[in-house]
């Protein structure tokens, strides 16, 4: 039993000696870099304050950026170097064209069509409706 305690005491002495040397090294580092560390910590404090003040904006950017990056990944074809997808533009509630209010009138620059194809009913094919 005394040999086990003697071995433990030796290991404890070695560990405490190593810890003492590490603390001396840390103390020397802090003394040599005191002003630099203070300036860096102050800048880090400023950065932390800005991040805290802008946390809602950062949250919004991350909320939008994640799906946006995923969407880009889904449409980008690296082998061809192209984007493969469809552009979907929302309907504008304020159209200046008079044909937006009256769909039977042809739009400027579009050929006049006397018929439009519309589905008759589910499973019964297509029918033509004549536009006056």
Query: pLDDT by residue (tens digit) across 51-72?
Result: 999 999 999 988 888 888 888 8
DSSP string, 48-89: HHHHHHTHHHHHHHHHHHHHHHHHHHHHEETTTTEE-----P
CB 104 within 8 A of CB 132: yes
Do residues 15 and 78 share a domain? yes
Taking alpha carbons only, the member of 86, 85, 108 closest to residue 97 is 108
Report pLDDT for 3: 74
Can you say how many angstroms the Cα of residue 82 is from the centroid of all Cα atoms in its chain? Answer: 21
> CA–CA separation, 129 vs 104, rounded Å?
11
> CA–CA separation, 43 vs 47, rounded Å?
6
Q: Per-residue confidence at 123, pLDDT binned at 50, 70, 90?
A: very low
Q: Which domain holds residue 111?
A: 104-130
Q: Could you tell me if residue 94 is inside a domain?
A: no
pTM assigned to the model: 0.36
If phi > 0 it is left, if psi is from -120 to 50 it is alpha, else beta; for residue 91 that is beta
Q: What is the pLDDT of residues 83-119, one digit of tens each?
A: 887 666 667 565 544 444 555 555 554 444 444 444 4
* Residue 8 or 100, more confident: 8
Place of tokens 């810890």: 19
Query: Has residue 35 got a pLDDT over 70?
Result: yes
Q: Give how many domains the chain has, as a whole number.
A: 2
The pLDDT > 90 percentage for the chain reads: 36
In the chain, the largest separation of any two C-alpha atoms, in whole Å, equals 112
Q: Could you tell me if residue 99 is inside a domain?
A: no
Q: Could you tell me if residue 89 is inside a domain?
A: no
* Residue 78 or 124, more confident: 78
Do residues 119 and 66 share a domain? no
């Amino acid at each position: 039993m005394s040999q086990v305690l003697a071995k433990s005491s030796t290991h404890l002495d070695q560990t405490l000696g190593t810890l003492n040397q590490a603390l001396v090294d840390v103390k020397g580092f802090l003394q040599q870099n005191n002003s630099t560390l203070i300036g860096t910590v102050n800048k880090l404090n400023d950065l932390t304050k800005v991040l805290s003040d802008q946390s809602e904006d950062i949250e919004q950017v991350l909320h939008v950026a994640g799906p946006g990056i995923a969407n880009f990944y889904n449409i980008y074809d690296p082998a061809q170097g192209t984007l493969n997808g469809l552009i979907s533009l929302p309907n504008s509630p304020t159209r200046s064209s008079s044909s937006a209010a009256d769909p039977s009138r042809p739009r400027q620059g579009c050929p006049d069509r006397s018929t439009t194809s519309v589905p008759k009913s589910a499973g019964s094919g297509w029918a033509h409706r004549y536009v006056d």
